[in-house]
Amino acid sequence: MTQRTLAIIKPDAVSKGAAGAILSKIEQAGFKVLAAKLIQMSFDDAAGFYAVHRPRPFFKSLCTFMTQGPCIPMVLEADNGIQKWRDLMGATDPAKAAAGTIRKEFASSVEANAVHGSDAPETAAFEIAYFFSALEIH
Ligand code: GDP
């Protein structure tokens, strides 16, 4: 089933100049990029996006990290796209990420882990609409 997911190239990856290499991996894996933009989030932007993580001890640190520089949210589409993108990202902790995954190659820590991906159809719908209007998705 064709599915859309929300991906973000996080500020750590943008600042180290890895955005192009990550986008290349996305295209080589067969995703269609339906939308993409470079944005700078405020703390409140990040807090709204990560609202489900508010009770977790790393919430403030995560929101601060996501505002340290520009990031690139994208809408990706592929067959089984949500799981396919999570497989290409790799485990949250880069020390546990499999060879060939984006986090294995580009993440620096469990927090500065290069990319984000929606984890379910409901979160994908919320996250896509958080960054993109219908008119921005092609
Ligand atoms: P994901 O779905 O693999 O991105 O992981 P989660 O939904 O569990 O966490 C969201 C994001 O919070 C991760 O991508 C990391 O940037 C950050 N994060 C997760 N676990 C930790 C942690 O233990 N410490 C810190 N500082 N950040 C974390």
**Structure tokens that stand for 50 in this block:** 């990560």
CA distance 23 to 76: 11
pLDDT on residue 82: 98
User: pTM of the predicted model, to two decimals?
Assistant: 0.98
Q: Does ligand 1 lie within 6 Å of residue 62's CB atom?
A: yes
Q: Does ligand 1 lie within 6 Å of residue 87's CB atom?
A: no
Percent of the chain with pLDDT over 90: 100
Q: Does ligand 1 lie within 6 Å of residue 110's CB atom?
A: yes
Nearest partner of 21 among 117, 128, 96, 114, judged by Cα:
114
Closest approach atom of ligand 1 to CA 119: 2
pLDDT on residue 64: 98
pLDDT on residue 67: 98
What CATH number labels 2-39+71-136? 3.30.70.141
Contact of 9 with 74, CB cutoff 8 Å: yes
Number of Cβ atoms within 10 Å of the Cβ of 104: 17
Q: pLDDT tens-digit profile of 12-55?
A: 999 999 999 999 999 999 999 999 999 999 999 999 999 999 99
